[in-house]
Amino acid sequence: MSSILEMRNRHFFIFDILVLLSIPGLALTLRLDRLDWWPHFGQALIFFTIVALLIKVPLFYHQDLYRRYWRYASVNDLTRVLIAVGLSTTVLTVVFGGAQASLARYGLASPRSLPLLDGMLTCLIVGGSRLGLRGLYDWYRQHQDVVGGRRVLVVGAGEAGTLVVREMRANPQLDMEPVAFVDDDPAKVGTCIQGLPVLGTTQHILELVDRDQIQQIIVAMPSAPLGRQQEIMAMCEQTGVATYSLPGIYELLAGHKTISRLPQVDINHLLHREPVEIDPTEVAAYLAGATVLVTGAGGSIGSELCRQIARFDPGELILLGHGENSIFEIGLDLQLSLPNLVTHQVIVDVRDQQRVNWVIEKYRPDVIFHAAAHKHLAFMEANVEEAITNNVLGTQNILWAAEQHGVERFVLISTDKAVNPTSIMGATKRLAELLVLAAAQRSGQAYMAVRFGNVLGSRGSVIPIFQRQIAAGGPLTITHPDMRRYFMTIPEAVQLVLHASELGQGGEIFVLDMGQPVRILDLATELIKLSGLEPGRDIKIVYTGIRPGEKLDEELFLEEEDCRCTKCPKIFVATHESTVEAEMLEQVVVELINLTRQMQSQNATEQMWVLLPKVCYYLDNYQPRPQPLPPEPTVLDRQPVFVEPRLEGKPAVVTVSAG
């Protein structure tokens, strides 16, 4: 089979020569309806065959019949065959018809209808061989479908729909199995196109998805009016199945639509587990009618928090952020999707205590979700002042204003990097957790923190970076082949944050169940494959080495924390037996902020030498009674300080090497 499909033009040339030598004899047999014609027409047949061959082959070349890739033959290609055969038949008919009398004198005359019969047979055999190869190729592809691939329903049985089916069959690596069509044209219902049945109209989509276990829907109706396309997309989205809309080729060529160079993949495939889903009833009960403030509302987590909170019909939703563009975007998004929702967009830097206090005093929120933070570990290692002032001072300002104005619930979005931190970012998030715990025990309010790991698809996270590297042709950069991380999708992370916020009574740190940690190398390899490429051949993977502050594996709990289950099986709560010494904590924060500002003229490395040991020292030694801080290393001495990662819950070891 494969050898036939690999036929090239040289094979067709040899085939045509053999056919063209045989067809005149077959035509003469059909004309005379007998086989004993050789004594009377032998010489005439040989003469006709030679002349026909000399006329047909040049015309076939002129019509480019030997410069085509016949596996992908189209109607246009077959038209070329008809033109070439028609021209040769016309020439032969004129030549032999006009010279019939002269040829008869030499015994070379053949029946006048021979050129016409010869032309018909030539068209049938030459054209049929090309069309047969195309048909054989389509049959072969159809029977090479990947068994067990994602079952796909194609909406639209026109040109775009058939193109989609052909591509799925031509590329088994897509792992997609076309199952059926639906189409708005009732005349197509009950027919077969590309070997697939048209099972109904678009009104039957929901029924067919359930009945035929459809896993993906592709809408291929680019010529339909925009309003109709939106109606169909809405119907498909009601099924809960992944739905994609195919733009028309003409729209792409005209520039009306574009295709992103970034590979688009279903992020849920990278989790290696089922996404978490929780009954939102209890969350809806406490958020309905409440005034909710979200800091960092323009970020990946903050914006998704706003979207999910908005569905629970809050009284007012305050979107607080430092970046005007991102706040504008999430505000516009909410206005378009929920026009009756009352929102307030506020541009505030959480480090500005007066502005923070003004906002909370003005709107009097019932609940605050504090998602504003600098989160990029390596970036914060080079911007220590930003990490400390934003993550620590910003959290302190929000908490102070919340306490002053009686905010009932406060939820800090934290990270697993806050557990036994070895980086500035992780250390500042741990300090933020302690500030929340201190505020909870001081105020008696339901102030809590929620820890989770890396978020798939968030801005600046590993997936968007890998996608851009793949779009650029690689390589994908990984720090270490054994690097592992916990992962969640943005929607499930926010869903669990909201549920944890309802569970908290005050002073808890909630930890979300993220399954088993995933190797970054495995994630990169799978993403390359899901993009239709092959690791190592199409996209290379290179190792850059562990960056300062990074660990091979993250932890979820401190050794001294007591981990308990909650009524939600996907949420754990970590509690600590001792209480936080609030005054000491505030004193340390003030000293860190002052020291940070004093060191503005120093470079990031020098700031790290001083600040990271101080932060880690406090985190390892906070007790009800204050303890003296270690002596400050002198920057002028240029003595590098290294913080070794903690092992088995032991405190970080701060070592100073002699200059």
What amino acid positions are annotated as catalytic residues?
417
Q: What is the 3-state secondary structure (H, E, C) of 523-565?
A: HHHHHHHHCCCCECCCECEEECCCCCCCCCCCCCCCCCCEEEE
Q: Phi/psi at 217 (nearest 5 deg)?
A: -120, 135
In sequence order, which ranges of 271-323 are alpha helices (DSSP H)? 281-287, 300-310
Q: How far apart are CA 609 and CA 403, in angstroms?
A: 34
Q: How far apart are CA 488 and CA 271, in angstroms?
A: 7
Tokens read off for 544 = 């850059």
Residue that is written with structure tokens 């160079």 in the block: 261
3-state secondary structure of 411: strand
Q: How far apart are CA 285 and CA 411, in angstroms?
A: 17
Q: Phi/psi at 366 (nearest 5 deg)?
A: -85, -30
Neighbours of 489 (CB within 10 A): 20
Q: Are 514 and 488 in contact (CB under 8 A)?
A: yes
For the stretch 171-207, what's the b/e string if a residue is b when 16 or more beta carbons lie within 10 angstroms of its beta carbon? eeebebbbbbbbbbeeebbeeebbebebbbebeebee
Give the residue from 99, 6, 109, 119 showing the smallest Cα distance to 59. Answer: 119
Tokens read off for 277 = 């889903």
3-state secondary structure of 614: helix
DSSP label at 449? E
Q: How far apart are CA 45 and CA 27, in angstroms?
A: 10
Q: How far apart are CA 63 and CA 82, in angstroms?
A: 10
Neighbours of 476 (CB within 10 A): 22
Q: Dihedral of CA 259/261/262/263: which sign?
A: positive
CA distances from 634 to 86, 599, 652 (A): 95, 12, 21
Tokens read off for 447 = 């102030």
Asked if the peptide bond before residue 481 counts as cis, ω within 30 degrees of 0, the response is no
